[in-house]
Amino acid sequence: MTSVAPVAAAKPGGSTPKKGGAAGRPSAAAWLVAVPFLAFVGTFLVYPTVLVLFGAFQDSNGAFTLENLTTLFTGVVFDAFVRSIELSALTAVIGAIFGALLTWAIAVGNPDGMLRRTVVAGSGVLAQFGGVPLAFAFLATVGFEGLVTKFLRDNVGIDLFAGSAWLFELPGLTLVYTFFQIPLMVIVFLPALDGLRPQWREANASLGGTSWTYWRHVGGPILTPPFLGALLLLFANAFSAYATAAALVSQGSPIVPLQIRGFLTGEVVLGQENLGKALGLGMVIVVSIAMGVNVLLQKRVAKWVR
């Protein structure tokens, strides 16, 4: 509650400098208005981030060390990173391909139609707010007593869990992740498809082009950068995801976010208190690389879509 108060106080404070240089340099008092926001973000975003990033370079006594980071490249931690990257890359590719198809299917339809509205709203739900409910959706569908599991066992004679408890391991995570990756692709990719002008298609047709020449020479080249950008975004999204995996996998920590859970809930080996922060740093680096390449791609797109 305390951080709300300064906002109300700063507003009238900000009204005093009104005569001070409207066009020139803002007065010191003008800066005061931004203080509550900056103080809040500084405390609850920048401080925790810095804590993680610096903590990754400290041993349990606070002295500088690179040991946490070198540990990232050994044993179970390294395996978790490899698995996380594999899971994210695989679900990003699956999500991008099927998501692009679904996007195309709604983009060619009525822009204000019910179908499009439903798909876009449903995609928003699954892509951004799925989390724990998604894990339970899967237990209900292909869990030990799920609808599909029971149907296949009773009517077809196939036991989904004959081999292993795959739903609670990497294959299960891959399947579940497609349920937020495909919808995210729809949300991210739809603006790009909407940006294709009908005139281009008409020009192609009037010059004797076919559907193939249109996608080969017009649609394809224009959509490639946004498609790759969306692919990277999907990768970063799967890599950062935690809730669904945490609700599904309660034993073991196959992927990095679950490893971090282990460090937070107390399975800490003495002398490795800051290893969790190094894992966090590793995650931020991977996500930042994906996002950075994405920004470069977006700049390329901006030139074309104008």
Partner 1 sequence: MGSLVKQRVLRTIVLLVLGVYFILPLIAMAEFSTRGREGSRSLESWTSIVDDEGLMEALVNSLLLSVTSAVLMLVLLVPTMAWIRLRLPQLQRFVEFLCLLPLAIPAIVLVVGMAPLYAWVNYFLGDSPLTLTYAYTILVLPFAYRAVDAGLSAIDLKTLAEAARSLGASWFTVLWKVVVPNIRVALIGASLLSVALVLGEFTIASLLNFDTLQVQVNLLGKRNAGVSIAVSLLCLIFAFVLLFALSYVGQRRRQTVVEE
CA distance 233 to 96: 10
* Shortest Cβ 87–partner 1 spacing (Å): 14
Query: Which residue number, 121 or 269, has a Cβ lying nearer to partner 1?
Result: 121
Spatial contact of 142 and 148, defined as CB atoms under 8 Å apart: yes
CB of 218 or CB of 287, closer to partner 1: 287
Rank residues 222 and 244 by Cβ distance to partner 1 and give the closer one: 244
Cβ pair 185, 93 in contact under 8 A:
no
CB of 127 to partner 1, least distance (A): 10
Residue 82 Cβ, how far from partner 1 at the closest point, in Å?
18
The angle formed by the CA atoms of residues 140, 128 and 281, to the nearest 5 degrees, is: 110
Integer Rg of the chain from CA: 25
Q: For partner 1, give the closer residue by CB, 8 or 302.
A: 8
Looking at the Cβ atoms of 19 and 303, the one nearer to partner 1 is 19
Tell me the closest approach of the beta carbon of residue 26 to partner 1, in angstroms: 5
Q: Which is nearer to partner 1, 138 or 227 (CB)?
A: 138
Give the C-alpha separation, 126 to 182, whole Å.
9
Give the shortest CB-211-to-partner 1 separation in angstroms: 4
Q: How far is the CB of 229 from partner 1 (least distance, A)?
A: 14
Q: Least CB distance from residue 74 to partner 1, whole Å?
A: 20
**Pick 185 or 222: Cβ nearer partner 1:** 185
